[in-house]
């Protein structure tokens, strides 16, 4: 029998790519997604069409906030591993609709944890975010840094997920691994992300909004590097450490079977360079509208990914030029 993976948020950007990688490696994937209208549902359905031809793929349209349905899925499918990517995404939208973040990211995650408790799994891997570093100024960001000063409700919910996961790892010995993603980009990306918005505007000869007057630095991480990290981490769950002398407690680990990892390129790029690479890939110059920084945004992100490399002998490495060219190629093909 093939290994059974339950993957939430399967119609999402990272979810689709991750599911495809597991399917191509012979795993049985049960994907769930609520297909909400936070952005273009057609794009989500088209992502699903990339998966539907795999005989080992099963899809259920459902919401992780539906406790009874989640319990039923766990009971019937009996997954061995969970890759939990479903969440209400977006930093700026959390200022407009905070209740959506509590419902999906807190209550929905609780349903996943409770299901893992009732139907034991080998490993729960879940999406956190680099946004948890919030007001931190120490660069690069390390998993061992304190993360007690979030600057958006989205970040609050992601940090809460890490704390919730630790409590279940401690109480019920459920192996959990949180993944702090750093600005993921690539083909099939989200329409609310900068790369998508910039590309669309340049092709339409419209202005792009450049926040903080372009003085932003991001650790852009290509989707393939994210997926490879998820895949390798899934099969190396943290273990219970009963030797208290070795069980020093940090924000990313403890004596419980619990870990948190940064997944970032460790090569932060100024936004101006990012835009320049996009202009070169498209062959057109962008019209820039310089604006002040947005509430909830941070100026600089930089991942220390040494813990990830030590744990699975892998670290993200795709450079900006290659990654953006692949995105533009997909964009041209998808939108003709």
Give the model confidence (pLDDT) of 40-50 as tens digits.
999 999 999 99
Structure confidence at residue 244 (pLDDT): 54
What are the pLDDT digits (tens) for 219-276?
999 999 999 999 999 999 999 886 655 556 778 888 999 999 999 999 999 999 999 9
Structure confidence at residue 123 (pLDDT): 98
According to CATH, the topology of domain 4-182+222-264+303-317 is: Rossmann fold (3.40.50)
Structure confidence at residue 299 (pLDDT): 84
CA distances in angstroms from 129 to 70, 90, 206, listed in the order given: 24, 11, 31
Residue pair 266/314 in contact by the 8 Å Cβ criterion: no
Structure confidence at residue 248 (pLDDT): 63
* Domain residue spans of the chain: 4-182+222-264+303-317
- For 148, counting Cβ atoms within 10 Å of its Cβ (0-12 exposed, 13-18 middle, 19+ buried), the class is exposed
Closest residue by Cα to residue 176 from 89, 245, 265, 82 = 82
Structure confidence at residue 247 (pLDDT): 52
This prediction's pTM: 0.95
As a three-state string, the secondary structure of 87-118 is CCCCCCHHHHCHHHHHHHHHHHHHHHHHHHHH
Structure confidence at residue 95 (pLDDT): 87
Candidate list 154, 168, 185, 222, residue with the active-site label: 154
Query: Is residue 133 annotated as part of the catalytic site, yes or no?
Result: no
The count of C-alpha atoms lying within 13 angstroms of the C-alpha of 19, restricted to the half-sphere facing its C-beta, is 32
Flag residues of the chain having pLDDT under 70: 1-2, 242-248
Within 10 A of 118 (CB to CB), how many other CB atoms are there?
11
Residue pair 197/208 in contact by the 8 Å Cβ criterion: yes
**In whole angstroms, what is the distance from residue 310 CA to residue 299 CA?**
28
């Amino acid at each position: 029998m093939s290994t059974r993976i339950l993957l939430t948020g399967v119609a999402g950007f990272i979810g689709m790519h991750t599911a495809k990688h597991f399917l191509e490696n012979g795993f049985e994937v049960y994907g769930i997604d609520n297909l909400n209208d936070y952005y273009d549902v057609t794009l989500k359905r088209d992502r699903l069409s990339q998966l539907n031809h795999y005989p080992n793929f099963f899809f259920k349209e459902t919401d992780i906030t539906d406790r009874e349905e989640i319990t039923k899925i766990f009971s019937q499918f009996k997954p061995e591993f969970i890759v939990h990517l479903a969440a209400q995404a977006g930093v700026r939208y959390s200022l407009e609709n905070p209740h959506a973040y509590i419902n999906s990211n807190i209550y929905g995650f609780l349903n996943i944890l409770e299901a893992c408790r009732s139907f034991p799994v080998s490993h729960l891997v879940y999406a956190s975010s680099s946004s948890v570093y919030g007001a931190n100024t120490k660069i690069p960001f390390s998993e061992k840094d304190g993360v007690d000063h979030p600057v958006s409700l989205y970040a609050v919910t992601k940090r809460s997920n890490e704390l919730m996961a630790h409590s279940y790892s401690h109480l019920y010995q459920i192996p959990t691994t949180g993944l702090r993603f750093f600005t993921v980009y690539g083909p099939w990306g989200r329409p609310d992300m900068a790369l998508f918005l910039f590309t669309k505007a340049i092709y339409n000869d419209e202005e792009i909004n450049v926040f903080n007057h372009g003085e932003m630095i991001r650790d852009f991480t290509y989707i393939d590097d994210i997926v490879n990290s998820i895949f390798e981490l899934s099969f190396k769950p943290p273990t219970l450490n009963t030797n208290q002398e070795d069980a020093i407690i940090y924000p990313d680990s403890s004596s419980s079977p619990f870990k948190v990892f940064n997944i970032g390129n460790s090569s932060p790029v100024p936004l101006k360079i990012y835009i320049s690479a996009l202009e070169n890939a498209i062959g057109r110059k962008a019209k820039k509208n310089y604006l002040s920084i947005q509430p909830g945004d941070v100026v600089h992100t930089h991942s220390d990914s040494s813990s990830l490399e030590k744990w699975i002998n892998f670290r993200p490495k795709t450079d900006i030029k290659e990654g953006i060219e692949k995105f533009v190629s997909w964009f041209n093909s998808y939108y003709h």
